[in-house]
Amino acid sequence: MEYKELANEFFRCMTNAPKMQFQKKVDDLSHGERRILGYLTFERDGVTSGELSDKLYLSTPRVASALNSLSKKGFIERSRDTSDKRIVIVTITEDGKNFMMEEHEEAMAMIEQTLRNLGEHDAQEFVRIIKRITEFSKEEE
C-alpha cells in the first residue's frame, strides 16, 4: 500500500471539502472560547486559567484573551480562590451554560444527520476509525 499517496489524497479531500454545518463558526465565538465553554460545561467547572490552558492545549495568552471575551459576553465569571487570593477561579454562568447546551444540541443533531447520510455500516466504520486515531494520538503525547 502506498501510504504517501493515500496521505496526499486525504489531504486534498480535507482541504477541498466545504466545512460541514456543525463545524461552522456560530455568532462571534472563537474556537478557543467554544472549547473553554465546553470544558466548563461538560468536564469541570470552577477551574484556573492554567488548568484550561493545560487541558485544552491553548497558550496562556490565548486563554486570557478568550476569558476576557467570554466575561464581556456574560458567559463566565472569575473570582478569587478563598484559600489563596492569588488564584483566580473561572466558572461558567447560567447564560454560558444555556448557550453551550443549545449549541451542543444543534451540533449533535447535525452530526446525527451526517452519520445517517453515511448509512449504518459507513457511520459505524467512521466512528471506529476516529476512535482509533484518538487512541494512538493520546499514546503519542
Q: Say what the pLDDT of residue 6 is.
A: 85
Three cell numbers, residue 67: 476569558
For the chain, how many structural domains are there in total? Answer: 1
- 63 vs 1: which has the higher pLDDT: 63
- In the chain, the percentage of residues whose pLDDT exceeds 90 is 56
Residue 100 scores a pLDDT above 60 = yes
Residue 24 scores a pLDDT above 70 = no
CATH of the domain at 71: 1.10.10.10
Residue 1 belongs to a domain? no
User: What is the value of pTM for the model shown?
Assistant: 0.74
Average pLDDT across the chain, whole number: 88
Residue 25 scores a pLDDT above 80 = no
pLDDT digits (tens, 9 = 90+) for 64-91: 999 999 999 999 999 998 888 889 999 9
**Strand, helix or coil for residue 76:** strand
Residue 56 belongs to a domain? yes
| CA angle, residues 71, 77, 79, in degrees to nearest 5 | 130
- Could you tell me if 82 and 36 are in contact, meaning their C-beta atoms sit under 8 angstroms apart? no
Residue 133 belongs to a domain? yes
Nearest CA-CA partner of 89 in 62, 107, 110, 71: 71
pLDDT digits (tens, 9 = 90+) for 47-66: 999 999 999 989 999 999 99
Q: What is the extent of the structural domain holding 59?
A: 25-139
Q: Say what the pLDDT of residue 15 is.
A: 76
Q: Say what the pLDDT of residue 31 is.
A: 81
Residue 126 belongs to a domain? yes
CA distance 94 to 128: 35
Residue 37 belongs to a domain? yes
- Could you tell me if 113 and 20 are in contact, meaning their C-beta atoms sit under 8 angstroms apart? no
Residue 110 belongs to a domain? yes
- In the chain, the percentage of residues whose pLDDT exceeds 70 is 90
User: Once rounded to an integer, what is the mean pLDDT over residues 127-134?
Assistant: 90
Residue 124 scores a pLDDT above 90 = yes
Q: Is 57 left (phi over 0), alpha (psi -120 to 50) or beta?
A: left
Residue 7 belongs to a domain? no
Residue 4 belongs to a domain? no
Q: Say what the pLDDT of residue 10 is.
A: 82
Distance of CA 8 to the CA centre of its chain: 26
